[in-house]
Structures are given as C-alpha cells and as structure tokens.
Structure 1
Amino acid sequence: MPPLFRPEVAENKQSQWLGKALLLKGWPPWVTALLTAGFMIALLIFLIFAQYARRITVSAEVITQPHTINLFSPVEGVISQLLVSNGQKVIAGTPLYQLDLSRVGQTGNASTTTLAAINKQRHQLDDIIAQLENNKRATLSNLQDQLDQYQQAQTGLNKMVASAADGLNAMRITLDSYNISLRKGLINTDQLNNQRYLYYQQQSSYQNLHAQAIQQSLQISGLQSAKVTKSSDFDNQISQSRYQQQGLDRELAEANVKNLLLITAPAAGSISSLSVTPGQMVNAGDSLVQLVPGNNEIFFLVAWLPDESRPFVTLGETINIRYAAFPSEKYGQFPGKVISIADAPSTAQEMKDYLSAPRNSSGMITGSYFKAIIGLNSASVTWHQQHLALTSGMQAQTTLFLEQRPLYQWMLSPYYSLKNSITGPINE
C-alpha cells in the first residue's frame, strides 16, 4: 500500500523549528589561536618559574628535658607496700615501692629463717667479742699489777745496791789504810786479815744484791713483753671475731635484699603514674612507676627522619606540627624549630623506648632513621587564646620541607627515573 503522505512532507515537518532560536556567529580563528597561545605561554611560565618544595610527614613524640624516667622491676616478687602517691614530689633516694622477694616452704619462710639464723650467729659473736675484751682487760690489769710490784721492788733494790756499793768503796778505803798501817807496824797481820775478810764479805753482799737487781730487771722486761704479747693475742682473736662478724653482716645484707627490696627514686621530681598496686605480683622488667624529673618541665619533640630526608633538613628550620590530641581539623597546625639532628642513624635499642619510632607490620624497626629534636614555643601552643597543655609521651605528626625545584622538574621525574635505568656504566 503506498504511503499516505509524501516523504518530502514528513521531512519538512521534522526539520521545522518549533520555537525561536538565536544563532551566534562563531569565534574568529585568530581569537581562538591567540587565546590558546596565551594559555600555553602562561602554562610554560608557571611550569618554569613556579617552584614546589617536596615535603614528608614523619612521626614524632613529645618529651621532657630531662626525659621522663621509667622504673622497672629488677626481679620477680610481690609488691608489699606502696610508699608514694600520684603527683607527689620526691627527692633522690625516696623509697617508692617495697618488693617482697621471700620464698615460703614447708618449714616456713626461708628468708625469715635465714635472717634469724644469721642474727643469732651475730649475737653469739657479739658475746664472744665482749668476753674477749673483758679477758683482755683482766689479763692486762693483772700483768700491770705484777709489773708495778716488781718495779717498786726494783726501786728499793736499786737503792740497796747503791748503798752496798758505797759500803764496799768505804771498806776498800779502810783496807788500803790497814795495809799502810801494817807496813808502818801500827797493826798486826791478824787485824789486816780480819779487815780483808770483812771487805770480801761486803763485796759478796754487793754482788748478790747486784745479781738480784739484774734478775729483777729481767723479770720486769718479761712482764712487759708478756703484756704486749697477751694484748696482741687478744687483739688478734677480737679481729678474727670482728672479721667473721663483717662476713655475717654481708650475708645479712644479702639475705635482706633477697627478702625485701626497696625501689627508690633515682632523681628528684614528681610521680607521674604508678603502674602496680600492693599485693600485685611483678616479673623482672615490669614497669613500676613513671617519674618526671625536676620542677619546671621543658617540652621538646623527638622526630625520626628517614635517611632520604636527612641531607635536606637543617638546624633552625621551621616545621609544621599536628598533635594527635589536638586534631588539625579543629586546632590547626603548630610551628616548631629543629634544634638538633643526629649525625648517625639511631640504633634499634634506642628507638624501642619511643612509641613514635617507625615500625613495620610485625612491630620490628627497619631502615635507617636519624633522631631530630624539635624545639617548641610554649606560647604558640594556644588555640583561641587558650593554652593547650602538653604532656610527655603525646604523639604527633610533623611536616618537613625538603628540596625545592621548579614544577617542570617534578613533572619530568619519571623521565629522570627512566634515564637512570637505561644509562650504562659511568666512567670517572
């Protein structure tokens, strides 16, 4: 069947405008070319002269100067007594905890039994030393009394010897005069012999007295020597007993340490936190207390710089800081200044004491990191004129500004990487 209308009529109806349309004349080609050229020139100028500083974000942690002191349990035991409280000011040597290290067996507390036995031995040695000192005093007093008596007798005997010597001299003079008288015929021989007999009798008495005086002197010397010897013997015995006593004192001190151990403050400061309570069992290495040294806390930030950023970070450089406790969406960023950078990478032993140290998924510290100390301006840690309090251990993120290049160099970074990968050996 042929169509009802001609095809030309249908096409005409479809091509007719249903409303009014405003037809504009197109841009001239020279305008389009000029705008395109201007845009390309502006883009090139921007890429050539505009610069961008590469930046990285590293983890950081708030610390105090001096650092917060963490005290750990040196041995396994039970907390028997808590001697301080949170926030308390302490001085160096102040007892903080009393740790009970005693062991209990079927016969009772082994440490208490050992202490009782050592104390008993020590008391016995005290009695022995006291008895030796009493014996020493009594013996030396007895010897001194004998010595005094002999010295008094010696004094009298010396006088008798001197008197006998005078009498002997007088008898010798008389005997000489008798000899002269005999030659003159004034006396006979019997009278001379009688006088000579008296002289020899006086001489014998003098010699006996002199020998007795020598014997007395020897006895006095013997008593003096005996006094020194006895005193030395008693002193040796007392010294041996005191040496044994010192050994017992050492054993007593060791037994006391094995029984009770005092955890003391190594420096003056304030108690930040107490980790355990009385009656709680602790193992060697368990945390006991945190101590903030000093009275005026000075806050710093410790940051860990990866090795690729170390050459570009300089002393005095300003960085941006974002604290985890103060979200940057609300509080913004805070300034800081680099005041110290380590010249050598930090060891894993040093980094493990910081929660902010970079770690992999298994908790291990890998790679080289340089320790940087960031100075904080306490006046700048404010928000709407409200001071924000910092505490040691707060986590933070820091933004470091590294090398600065034109934008086109950053755009060509893939080219540089490709160039380095295809470049052959470099000859010096």
Structure 2
Amino acid sequence: MSDELFRREVLQAKQDERLGKIGFRAPRVGWIFFAIGAASTIAILGLLIAGRYTRHERVHGTLVPDSGLIAVSVAGPGVVSRILAHEGDIVVAGQPLVEVSMPQDSVALGETQALVAEQLRVKQQGLQSDLVLHRSLGDMQRHEIQERLRNLHLRAEEKARQAGLQKQRADSADELYQEWLRVESAEVISRYQMLQQRDSVLQHRANQIELEAQRRLLVQQADEATSALAQLEPTLRGQENRTRRDVADVEQSLAENAARAAVTLRARVSGTVTSVLIKPGQAVSAGQTALSLLPHDSELVAELWVPSSAIGFVDAGKPVALRYEAYPYQKFGQQRGRVLSVSRSAAPPDAQSRLLGTAVDAPRYRVEVALERQVMAVYGRNESLKPGMGLEADISVETRRLVEWVFDPLYRLAQDRPAVGSADTDRR
C-alpha cells in the first residue's frame, strides 16, 4: 500500500489545469460596510452604557402666591356703589376698597332705612340734650348745696362766738352774785337785788345753752349737707352714665342701620390689588368675591396637582420645567423650577373643585414649585408673572442609564423567577 495521501491520477489532473488556479477575494465595498457596521455597533453599545434617560411626569397647575391670595368678599347682597381701588393699586391694611349699598324699601313706609335713621337721630339729639340738662342741673344742685354748707358753717361759727360771749357774761354775773353772797350778812345789798342778780345769772346761762344748741343744730345741718353733697356725685354720675349708655345704644343702632344700608370692604393686609371682579352698579350676592389682594413680600409659586399614578418619585428638590399658557414655549421658551413641597395626602375631588373652580374626578396631590424667576422675558422686556396663570410642567422623576432601561425587564424577570420557584415548592 502506497504512503501517498492522494492517488496519482488526482495529482496529474491538478498539474494539467489549463486556466490556472481558482482564488476567492472579498470586494472592497464589503470592507466599508463591515467598518460602518462595527462602528455603529460600538456606538450603540457606548450609547447604551454611557447614555442616560430622564423620565418626566407632565402635569398642569397655576401660579399662586406663597402666602396665599386674599379674596375680599361681600358679606351680604347689595349693589356696588363705588370702587375705591383698582387693579395694580398698592393698598395698606384698613384702606377702603369697595362700597356696597344694601337698600331696603317698604310699600307702606318707603325707604325704611332712611326713616329709621331719621328717628334714631332725633332720639340721639334728645338724649344729648338730656345729657346737657343733667349736667346743668347737677352743677346747680352742687352749687346750691355747697353754698348752703358754707352758710351753715358761717352761722355755726357765729353761734359759737355768741355762745362764748354769753358764757363770759354768765360767768361775770355769777362772780358778782358770789361776791354779793359774801357780803349779804352786812346787809349792804338788798335781798331784791340779790334775787335780780341771781335771775340774771340764770338768764345768761339759759341764753348760753340755747346758743350752743343752735350751734349744734347748725353743725348737724352742715353734716347733712356734706353727706348730701357726697351722695350727689354718684347720683349725677349714675344718671349721666345711664344717659351715655342710651346714647351709645342709639349710636350702635345708627351704625347697624348704616351697615345694613351700605358696607365698606377694607383691605385686611397691605398688598397689591391683583384683580377687580365687579363694576359700579352691579348686583352682588353674599360671599361673592369683589377683588383679590396679593400681600406684600410674597412670591409666586407654581401649584401643581399630581395624580397618584405619577407621585411615586416626586419629592422636594426635583427639577421642573414650566411652560406658561400665556407665553407659548415655542416662542418664549420655558422656565426652570424646583419642587418645594409635596402634600402628605391626596386632596379629595370636592376639595379640589372648591379650590380650582373646576370639576375634578380623582384625588390628587398638591405640589409646590419654586420659580427660578418671577418675570418672563417677552420681546426684550421683563413681564411680571401674575397669580392665576395656567401652566404645564414636566417634573423630572427618575434618571437611569439606557442599558438599565433595556435590560430592566430581564432583570425583573430574573428577580421574579426565584419567587415563582419558591411558590411552586410551597404548593408541592
């Protein structure tokens, strides 16, 4: 057996090829497509590994002041008589803003409020006259008692002096009588003279006692006058206070009647009038908003209402892209902001309807966003943003690499398989 691998006939056939050897060469265009494909594959792999994608949640909302927009409402039904502040005006706390008249007429009496006011003014004038009269009478009574008290003191002092003189006369007459008694035995003085002198002493003593009694009576009357003067002050003060209370009641009734006739709406805080929703002569109802106030030192924030399906990754600090309906973003661009706060619980639909004034069919979360700027650049000038402007917002909720987004289903499937296997084991 020969050691050759091929038969001799084959080798001879190979040596007899007339057209030469057959060779296969790749075309040059193929190398170009191969390079393009390889580069594309590398680029796609690089994009998947290094590229990132941010998921956004698109929601709607409005601009509101961070300290709240104050609504000035009408207390009762009436007609707007005057508007004292207009949109853009800066007002201070307590400043009148709107006057609302509330006329009330009666078929029998006509304009009842004017009639009641006239009667109350007549009563007020009568009470004021009574108050002046009481003061005048009180002054007269006070002066009369003081004058009588002064006269009583003068008369009492006069009686005291008279009683003193009468005592001196009685003492002198008694001394003379005692001298006569010592010389009675000498019969120098007759008995008749002695009796006359004794009677004179008794007469002087009686006059002294009477004068002292009169003085005591005058002192008693002076004490009574002093007590009457002391009691007069509280009495006059009580009468004056009662009259003053009556006057105050009438003034209160006048104020209440005037309040029913016309009401002045005043600013509760200092701020800027942002919107006037009424006109002079317009009929208004109780609780209707007349105008709104933007408090001083307050900034606008975006108030967003986010559904529960999008709230999972929304938290403070997340960037937000804002697009205002009044300024189309295709022409004026969009503004940046950051999430300030997220409500802990969802607001029910009825509460949202009261706040927004539109029908809402599902609970949503309230999210506040701080604005990067309080103005919008419009045709080369800055326009101030206004409360109530509608807007559309994109909240950046999650940023991941593209490869994570691509392989996330496989990763989830790998995580779910052990759980499925353990569940099958448990069933067995």
Report the TM range for the smaller structure's normalisation: 0.7 to 0.9
1:177 offset after TM fit, Å? 3.7
Is structure 2 residue 321 aligned with structure 1 residue 325?
A: no
Deviations for 1:220-259, whole angstroms, at most 9, x for unmatched residues?
A: 2223333344444343333222222211111111111111
Q: Which residue of the partner structure matches residue 20 of structure 1? A: none
Return closer, same or farther for 1:274/1:216 CA change in 2, 3 Å cut-off.
same
Q: Which residue of the partner structure matches residue 159 of structure 2? A: 157
1:110 offset after TM fit, Å? 1.4
Instruction: Give the Cα separation in 1 of the matches to 2:75 and 2:62.
Output: 27
Q: Which residue of the partner structure matches residue 9 of structure 2? A: none
1:147 offset after TM fit, Å? 2.7
Residue 338 of structure 1 contacts residue 375 of structure 1 at CA under 8 Å; is this kept in 2? no
TM-score (normalizing by structure 2): 0.76
Q: Which residue of the partner structure matches residue 244 of structure 1? A: 246
Residue 310 of structure 1 contacts residue 370 of structure 1 at CA under 8 Å; is this kept in 2? no
DSSP-derived class of the 2:53 partner: strand
Q: Which amino acid aligns with 1:371?
A: V
Is structure 2 residue 292 aligned with structure 1 residue 290?
A: yes
1:34 offset after TM fit, Å? 12
Q: Which amino acid aligns with 2:172?
A: A
DSSP-derived class of the 1:56 partner: strand
**Worse overlay, 224-233 or 145-154:** 224-233
**Worse overlay, 216-225 or 47-56:** 47-56
Instruction: Give the Cα separation in 2 of the matches to 1:79 and 1:386.
Output: 37
Return closer, same or farther for 1:388/1:252 CA change in 2, 3 Å cut-off.
closer
Instruction: Give the Cα separation in 2 of the matches to 1:57 and 1:143.
Output: 91
Residue 343 of structure 2 contacts residue 365 of structure 2 at CA under 8 Å; is this kept in 1? no
Instruction: Give the Cα separation in 1 of the matches to 2:298 and 2:231.
Output: 67
Instruction: Give the Cα separation in 2 of the matches to 1:133 and 1:383.
Output: 73
Residue 63 of structure 1 contacts residue 300 of structure 1 at CA under 8 Å; is this kept in 2? yes
1:391 to 351, 364, 386: 386
Q: Which amino acid aligns with 2:373?
A: N
Is structure 2 residue 143 aligned with structure 1 residue 147?
A: no
Q: Which residue of the partner structure matches residue 334 of structure 1? A: 335
Q: Which residue of the partner structure matches residue 376 of structure 1? A: 372
Instruction: Give the Cα separation in 1 of the matches to 2:63 and 2:268.
Output: 22
Residue 156 of structure 2 contacts residue 219 of structure 2 at CA under 8 Å; is this kept in 1? yes
Residue 348 of structure 2 contacts residue 363 of structure 2 at CA under 8 Å; is this kept in 1? no
Q: Which residue of the partner structure matches residue 8 of structure 1? A: none
Deviations for 1:239-294, whole angstroms, at most 9, x for unmatched residues?
A: 22222221111111111111111112223333333222221111112221233333
Instruction: Give the Cα separation in 1 of the matches to 2:263 and 2:418.
Output: 64
Residue 353 of structure 2 contacts residue 360 of structure 2 at CA under 8 Å; is this kept in 1? no
DSSP-derived class of the 1:312 partner: coil
Alignment of 1:164-243 (within 5 A): 164-182=166-184, 192-243=194-245
Is structure 2 residue 129 aligned with structure 1 residue 105?
A: no
Instruction: Give the Cα separation in 1 of the matches to 2:36 and 2:87.
Output: 73
Return closer, same or farther for 1:195/1:417 CA change in 2, 3 Å cut-off.
farther
1:327 offset after TM fit, Å? 1.9
Q: Which amino acid aligns with 1:402?
A: V
Residue 156 of structure 2 contacts residue 216 of structure 2 at CA under 8 Å; is this kept in 1? no
Return closer, same or farther for 1:365/1:261 CA change in 2, 3 Å cut-off.
farther
Residue 300 of structure 1 contacts residue 376 of structure 1 at CA under 8 Å; is this kept in 2? no
Instruction: Give the Cα separation in 2 of the matches to 1:51 and 1:220.
Output: 109
DSSP-derived class of the 2:169 partner: helix
1:60 offset after TM fit, Å? 2.6
Q: Which residue of the partner structure matches residue 257 of structure 1? A: 259
Q: Which residue of the partner structure matches residue 76 of structure 1? A: 77
Q: Which residue of the partner structure matches residue 54 of structure 1? A: 55
Alignment of 1:112-127 (within 5 A): 112-127=114-129
Aligned residues: 395
Instruction: Give the Cα separation in 2 of the matches to 1:83 and 1:41.
Output: 73
Instruction: Give the Cα separation in 1 of the matches to 2:419 and 2:76.
Output: 57
Alignment of 1:6-17 (within 5 A): none
DSSP-derived class of the 1:85 partner: coil
Residue 345 of structure 1 contacts residue 371 of structure 1 at CA under 8 Å; is this kept in 2? no
1:64 offset after TM fit, Å? 3.6
Instruction: Give the Cα separation in 1 of the matches to 2:185 and 2:350.
Output: 121
Instruction: Give the Cα separation in 1 of the matches to 2:332 and 2:411.
Output: 35
TM-score (normalizing by structure 1): 0.76
Residue 307 of structure 1 contacts residue 370 of structure 1 at CA under 8 Å; is this kept in 2? no
Return closer, same or farther for 1:56/1:409 CA change in 2, 3 Å cut-off.
farther
Deviations for 1:365-392, whole angstroms, at most 9, x for unmatched residues?
A: 631413323232247x436755354222
Return closer, same or farther for 1:410/1:259 CA change in 2, 3 Å cut-off.
farther
Q: Which residue of the partner structure matches residue 90 of structure 1? A: 91
Deviations for 1:66-115, whole angstroms, at most 9, x for unmatched residues?
A: 54432222211011223333433332222222111121121211111111
Residue 47 of structure 1 contacts residue 407 of structure 1 at CA under 8 Å; is this kept in 2? no
1:137 offset after TM fit, Å? 2.4
1:160 offset after TM fit, Å? 0.5
DSSP-derived class of the 2:274 partner: strand
**Worse overlay, 382-391 or 141-150:** 382-391
DSSP-derived class of the 1:402 partner: strand
Instruction: Give the Cα separation in 1 of the matches to 2:415 and 2:211.
Output: 125
Q: Which amino acid aligns with 2:335?
A: F
Q: Which residue of the partner structure matches residue 301 of structure 2? A: 300
Q: Which residue of the partner structure matches residue 13 of structure 2? A: none
